[in-house]
Chains A and B, each alone.
Chain A
Amino acid sequence: DAGVTQSPTHLIKTRGQQVTLRCSPISGHKSVSWYQQVLGQGPQFIFQYYEKEERGRGNFPDRFSARQFPNYSSELNVNALLLGDSALYLCASSPDGPGGLTDTQYFGPGTRLTVL
């Protein structure tokens, strides 16, 4: 079975630009979460979507937004990029939503974003 896939693998942008990252969950998984991992740190939670609705949001500015499509794939958008947005962006999928019995998340390989 295919795991979580993310595209693109790498991305280089300049300050002020906008970026869209994409994630396809494991087949049958309805929940997608996004994390930001800055070099040398652990992943930081950005969003969780379940059944196309936002179910949770971390401490990130409104420049960060996301959505989930009917096929459960998801996009993360970041506007007005800052140098500090340079990071590995990880997508994770899980079968259930918040509070579900199966809270294990399966991670994709990530998108490496570099902001110059």
Chain B
Amino acid sequence: AQSVTQPDIHITVSEGASLELRCNYSYGATPYLFWYVQSPGQGLQLLLKYFSGDTLVQGIKGFEAEFKRSQSSFNLRKPSVHWSDAAEYFCAFNTGGFKTIFGAGTRLFVKA
């Protein structure tokens, strides 16, 4: 079955520390991969996407993600977290059709 797993329900990091959010997908081929961020009461904002080519993808707000085919993973990273990064992060994929499948999300808390 097609699915996305975000193993960490929530993560707490100190401001200025590095961040890595994990994402694994289950699909027989390479899908289109996305990371979205959702602030409380807001819709989803696209951080970055991977369609093909370079496996290290740069996004907005200083985020990057690396696609690893062998591990079926698409982990999100940021070298230095800011307090404004506190939000919920969703990994998602699309197989080129009409349906985008989302993970359950990882809530990021940032402590001063």
- The count of A-to-B residue pairs whose CB atoms sit within 8 angstroms is 62
Q: Is residue B96 contacting chain A, with contact meaning CB distance below 8 A? A: yes
Q: Which A residues between 27 and 70 are near B, CB-CB below 8 angstroms?
A: 33, 35, 40-45, 48, 50, 55-56, 58
Report how far A98 CA is from B42 CA in the complex, Å.
Answer: 26
From B32, B41, B42, B90, give the contact of A43 (CB < 8 A).
Answer: B90
B53 at the interface (CB under 8 A from A): no
Bound form: Cα–Cα A33–B94 in Å: 13
What DSSP secondary structure best describes chain A's contact surface?
loop
Interface of B is mostly: strand
List B contacts of A103 (CB < 8 A).
32, 51, 94, 96, 100
Instruction: Give the nearest-CB partner of A31 in chain B.
Output: B98
Is A25 an interface position by the 8 A CB rule? no
Give how many B residues have a beta carbon under 8 Å from the other chain's beta carbons.
25
Query: Interface digits, B95-112 against A, CB 8 Å rule (1 contact, 0 not)?
Result: 011111111110000000
Are A109 and B42 in contact, with the CB atoms below 8 A? yes
A3 nearest CB neighbor, chain B only? B43
Determine whether B11 belongs to the interface, using a CB cutoff of 8 Å to chain A.
Answer: no
- Please list the residues of chain A having a beta carbon within 8 angstroms of any beta carbon in chain B: 4, 33, 35, 40-45, 48, 50, 55-56, 58, 90, 92, 97-99, 103-110
